[in-house]
Amino acid sequence: MLDLTGYKAIVFDMDGTLIDSMGSHVKAWQMTCEFYGMPFDEEYMYGLGGVPTPQIAILLNQKFGTDHSPEEVAAKKRDCWHSLNDVPKIIKETCEVLDFYQGKLKMGVGTGSARKHAEEALKLTGIDKKITALVTATDVTDGKPHPETFLKVAELLGVEAKDCVVFEDTEMGRQAAEAANMDCILVKNGKIQA
């Protein structure tokens, strides 16, 4: 087991880090891009993991020179995702860390997902009972790579940012952790990169 005893808290990203849901989100983005006639780049979309849905819509507009309403695109993506009826599954390695440090370190989740989706996924997997702080895209002004999400988790946990370690699966999330002055451990394809 990783030695995280030098920290006071662990902050987990959710999608792609604790819960294996990135595939269904990317599929929903593919459906959304097809609906709006935008090219779909799977690698690019994976790289945006953790970025709030309306912000991704803005980035797609910039990338393809379109002017679709970010709110409408976000609503369409949510509808596409719900139509997939994806049942969230835990990512074993990361959840083993969560379980091992249960009661030893404070724990929270900082995600680019909307609050309703995050609460639903965490409840379905039982993770909701193992954390004491949740910050979602609904709770922040600036999503990842801005540090606001992770800084709010630290604040809710009552610890300083420097005393937190973040588990993340995307470059955007890593940048957010570094900007928050937190150490970051990457999770790639369900495997901890430490």
10-17-43-142 Cα dihedral, nearest 10 degrees: -50
Strand partners, 6: none
Per DSSP bridges, beta strands 133-135 and 164-168 are unpaired
Write the single-letter amino acid at 18.
L
The active-site residue out of 13, 15, 20, 169 is 13
- Cα gap 91→163, rounded to integer Å: 24
Q: Is 139 a catalytic residue?
A: no
Residue whose tokens read 């970025």? 51
Nearest-5° Cα angle at 52, 141 to 4: 90
- Positions annotated as catalytic residues are 13
